[in-house]
């Protein structure tokens, strides 16, 4: 599924504006540090989170001119987590380019991530110059901080799951709720808070963003198994090689007979596994119906999320329409 | 030099209160992540930065009951940088205990540092519950963010210097101004800002803290060469082994004859250098008068800093007295 021309064009203008904000914020010396920090930002990405910020702000009447600073904040925070994740997972490629630590070394990559983290707060503080009140900016900072804590907890769970024998599907959902949906939720909340959305809408929007975030991660796991390597921008099956307990793996392990179970476990998390062996594992997972299952689950999350979204009272229903389209796109995207 | 009993006792009560704040803030799940995050905090440390916060707040009438949250913020931020520094420098010991990545692995250590970073903002947001205004909390957040950016820049310079042939003393001072003095400065500013210090005093206090921070790092470099390993809590000469361009090394290289220069460079930054070889390098550095030079420079920074400190107009001069004693202690401490 592709986005409609209208939403795609809006998304592209938000992406460009957010990029300009980030470029302005993330510049300085030493040059190597700032180059390293901007590396993944320059490489692109879907810039979905900025869109969540700008659209939820727009729902309550705040212009992208202002909200783009908050959009920059969440996109910078997201990029910080990617830089550190790539070190942790020892990934060599992302967004079609070598990862930061592959180019600048691990030490500078750790520091580049830290710098981005700090810069995400600088981005939110910019809102004060655009007339957003100290109270609202403080609330936005609270949400960003909550997201950073939550993402760290989810990331730690993800790491700890690798060496655990059994992980329940509920634990996976809990991990994803933190690791991925945490920043989706805070993106929506930051956008709506700085625009002055009513308290009761914040609750609904949180539900919407959390559900869509979970669906997004489920789809992400699927794409690691089925997507074309070129659009993926990184090697296929890296999750399998790293021993990640994705929903697909968990579902397949639950349903596998002894032979299938042995086949999956013999290659999962083994750095030396060949492409063919991983291909075999992916085939087994697919044969066990994991993709149908995860697809259905993702669709269910999105359905529930949209229900919450439509119990809000926005000033601008058009922005809500676009958020709905985005939510559908998230589970059906091809990369 | 040891602190006077009065200041030592005040420092110890501030340290304990700050520790309680941190314990309250840094708790949650998964347990491994929070254990890893609290590891270095539990191991102790001098807790100098909390003292800078609490004393500068007290100078303008704000009680430790409130300012201890800000003290927790800077101490948490400091610990975050230590966790990441130890990974970058591949250090095995700090504060007499194995470093975080040695115990929990590198992946979890990176995330533990990230978590601490986020928690430092949570600590500042706590001030809102204690009646500090949104405006002042926003300013404190701005200072903390400035420090985090500045420390990252300094840390990057430190990394980049290792592989550079020549580094000027001025460049070293610039690096230290960022890497170490940045957080000293923001500690003093955060403390005085939340207490409502007048604008003109903020400038003076910045100068004081920056100068003392630079002196602190110069003394730190010295101690790596001359201190007793037991009180140091980490292996002696690790700076030399890692090829760090400390003030002592830079001074010695500038004054060394060809033979001395070759001796220093043959072991500096060589992971396989023996204890005896590093001992020889340290002796050569000392013979060239590097310690006298760096001592004098540190004293000069402190003298200038205290001059700035005494051009302020505090409500409570007693706190200023204690800050002065601390500043002297910083350059004369034995560990």
Chain A CB contacts of B111 under 8 Å are 84, 88, 152, 155-156, 159
Contact of B101 with B109, CB cutoff 8 Å? yes
Give residue A234's pLDDT: 86
Q: For the residues B4-19, what does the mean pLDDT come to?
A: 97
How far B185 CA sits from the closest chain A CA (Å)? 17
Give residue A287's pLDDT: 95
Q: Which of A28, A108, A118 to mutate: most B Cβ within 10 Å?
A: A118
User: Could you give the CA distance from residue B146 to residue B249 in angstroms, rounded to a whole number?
Assistant: 29
Shortest CA distance from A122: residue in chain B: B145
Cβ <8 Å between A32 and B156: yes
Give residue A43's pLDDT: 97
Cβ <8 Å between A111 and B159: yes
A-B CB pairs within 8 A amount to: 137
User: Could you give the CA distance from residue B193 to residue B195 in angstroms, rounded to a whole number?
Assistant: 5
CA angle B140, B141, B146 (to 5 degrees): 100
Cβ <8 Å between A121 and B119: no
Cβ <8 Å between A160 and B84: no
Q: Which of B80, B120, B145 to mutate: most A Cβ within 10 Å?
A: B145
Read off the pLDDT of residues A66-106 as tens digits, 9 standing for 90 and up: 999 999 999 999 999 999 999 999 999 999 999 999 999 99
Tokens found for residue B194: 């939340």
Read off the pLDDT of residues B96-134 as tens digits, 9 standing for 90 and up: 999 999 999 999 999 999 999 999 999 999 999 999 999
Give residue A117's pLDDT: 98
Chain A CB contacts of B32 under 8 Å are 156, 160
How far B302 CA sits from the closest chain A CA (Å)? 27
Give residue A229's pLDDT: 83
Give residue B235's pLDDT: 86
For the question of an ipTM over 0.90, the answer is yes
Shortest CA distance from A80: residue in chain B: B114
Cβ <8 Å between A30 and B160: yes
Burial tier of A200 (Cβ tally within 10 Å: 0-12, 13-18, 19+): exposed
How far A91 CA sits from the closest chain B CA (Å)? 13
Cβ <8 Å between B118 and A84: no
> Which of B32, B106, B118 is opposite residue A145, by nearest beta carbon?
B118
Cβ <8 Å between A30 and B110: no
Cβ <8 Å between A119 and B33: no
Cβ <8 Å between A149 and B30: no
- Contact residues, chain B to chain A, C-beta under 8 Å: 28-30, 32-33, 81, 84, 87-88, 106-108, 110-115, 117-119, 121-122, 125, 128, 133-135, 137-138, 141-142, 144-145, 148-149, 152-153, 155-157, 159-160
How far B138 CA sits from the closest chain A CA (Å)? 7
Report how many helices (DSSP H) and strands (DSSP E) chain A contains, helices first.
17, 2
Cβ <8 Å between B142 and A135: no
User: What is the helix, strand, coil percentage profile of chain A, to 5?
Assistant: 80, 0, 20
Read off the pLDDT of residues B160-179 as tens digits, 9 standing for 90 and up: 999 998 999 999 999 999 99
Q: Evaluate the omega torsion of the peptide bond into residue B73 and state whether it is cis, within 30 degrees of 0.
A: no
φ, ψ of residue B90 in degrees (nearest 5): 55, 40
Give residue A142's pLDDT: 98
Q: What is the dihedral of CA A39, A41, A45, A50, to 10 degrees?
A: 170
Read off the pLDDT of residues A229-279 as tens digits, 9 standing for 90 and up: 888 888 889 999 999 999 999 999 999 999 999 999 999 999 999 999 999
- For chain B, the structural domain boundaries read 5-332
> Which of A28, A138, A159 is opposite residue B134, by nearest beta carbon?
A138
pLDDT tier at A1, thresholds 50, 70, 90: confident
Give residue B227's pLDDT: 86
B148-180 burial, b at 16+ Cβ within 10 Å, e below that, comes to bbbbbbbbbbbbbbeeeeebeeeebbbbbbbbb
C-alpha distances in Å from residue A301, one per residue of A64, A209, A247, A308:
28, 10, 14, 11
User: Could you give the CA distance from residue B64 to residue B72 in angstroms, rounded to a whole number?
Assistant: 11
Read off the pLDDT of residues B323-335 as tens digits, 9 standing for 90 and up: 999 999 988 887 7
Give residue A227's pLDDT: 86
Shortest CA distance from A127: residue in chain B: B138
Shortest CA distance from B154: residue in chain A: A30
| Secondary structure (DSSP) of B135-195 | HHHHHHHHHHHHHHHHHHHHHHHHHHHHT-S---HHHHHHHHHHHTHHHHHHHHHHHHHHT
How far A298 CA sits from the closest chain B CA (Å)? 25
Give residue B64's pLDDT: 98
Give residue A332's pLDDT: 85
Give residue A50's pLDDT: 98
Read off the pLDDT of residues B180-214 as tens digits, 9 standing for 90 and up: 999 999 999 999 999 999 999 999 999 999 999 99
Residue A181 has pLDDT above 90, yes or no: yes
Percent of chain B residues topping a pLDDT of 70: 100
Tokens found for residue B292: 């006298």
Read off the pLDDT of residues B29-88 as tens digits, 9 standing for 90 and up: 999 999 999 999 999 999 999 999 999 999 999 999 999 999 999 999 999 999 999 999
pLDDT tier at B16, thresholds 50, 70, 90: very high
Read off the pLDDT of residues A124-162 as tens digits, 9 standing for 90 and up: 999 999 999 999 999 999 999 999 999 999 999 999 999
> Could you tell me which residues are beta bridge partners of residue B93?
B98
Residue A14 has pLDDT above 80, yes or no: yes
Give residue A180's pLDDT: 98
Tokens found for residue A126: 């910019």
Residue B1 has pLDDT above 80, yes or no: no
Shortest CA distance from A143: residue in chain B: B122
- Contact residues, chain A to chain B, C-beta under 8 Å: 28-30, 32-33, 81, 84, 87-88, 106-108, 110-115, 117-119, 121-122, 125, 128, 133-135, 137-138, 141-142, 144-145, 148-149, 152-153, 155-157, 159-160
> Could you tell me which residues are beta bridge partners of residue B97?
B94
Average pLDDT, chain B: 96
Give residue A247's pLDDT: 95
CATH 1.10.600.10 fits A5-332, yes or no: yes
How far B38 CA sits from the closest chain A CA (Å)? 14
Q: For the residues A58-71, what does the mean pLDDT come to?
A: 98
Confidence (pTM): 0.97
Read off the pLDDT of residues B58-75 as tens digits, 9 standing for 90 and up: 999 999 999 999 999 999
Shortest CA distance from B150: residue in chain A: A115
Q: Which of B28, B85, B154, B159 to mutate: most A Cβ within 10 Å?
A: B159
A126-160 burial, b at 16+ Cβ within 10 Å, e below that, comes to bbbebebebebbbbbbbbbbbbbbbbbbbbbbbbb
How far B141 CA sits from the closest chain A CA (Å)? 8
């Amino acid at each position: 599924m592709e986005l409609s021309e209208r939403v795609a064009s809006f998304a592209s203008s938000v992406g460009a504006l957010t990029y300009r904000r980030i470029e302005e914020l993330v510049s300085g010396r030493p040059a190597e540090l700032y180059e390293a920090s901007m590396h993944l930002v320059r490489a692109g990405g879907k810039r979905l989170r900025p869109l969540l910020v700008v659209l939820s702000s727009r729902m309550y009447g705040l212009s992208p001119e202002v909200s783009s600073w908050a959009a920059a904040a969440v996109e910078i925070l997201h990029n910080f987590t990617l830089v550190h994740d790539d070190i942790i997972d020892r990934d060599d490629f992302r967004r079609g380019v070598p990862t930061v630590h592959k180019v600048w070394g691990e030490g500078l990559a750790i520091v580049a991530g830290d710098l981005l983290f700090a810069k995400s707060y600088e981005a939110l503080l910019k809102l004060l110059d655009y007339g957003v009140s100290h109270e609202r900016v403080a609330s936005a900072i609270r949400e960003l901080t909550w997201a950073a804590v939550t993402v760290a907890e989810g990331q730690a769970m993800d790491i700890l799951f690798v060496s655990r024998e059994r992980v329940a599907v509920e634990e996976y959902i809990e991990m994803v709720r933190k690791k991925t949906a945490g920043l989706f939720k805070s993106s929506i909340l930051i956008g709506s808070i700085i625009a002055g959305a009513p308290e009761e809408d914040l609750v609904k929007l949180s539900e919407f963003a959390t559900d869509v975030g979970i669906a997004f991660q489920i789809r992400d796991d699927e794409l690691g198994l089925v997507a074309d390597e070129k659009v993926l921008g990184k090697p296929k099956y890296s999750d399998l090689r790293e021993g990640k307990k994705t929903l697909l793996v968990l579902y397949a392990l639950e349903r596998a007979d002894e032979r299938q179970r042995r086949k999956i476990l013999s290659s999962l998390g083994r750095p030396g596994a060949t492409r063919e062996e991983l291909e075999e594992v992916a085939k087994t997972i697919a044969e066990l119906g994991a993709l149908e299952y995860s697809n259905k689950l993702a669709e269910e999350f999105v359905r529930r999320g949209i229900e919450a979204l439509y119990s809000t009272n926005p000033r601008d229903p058009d922005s809500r329409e676009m958020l709905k389209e985005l939510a559908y796109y998230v589970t059906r995207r091809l990369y």
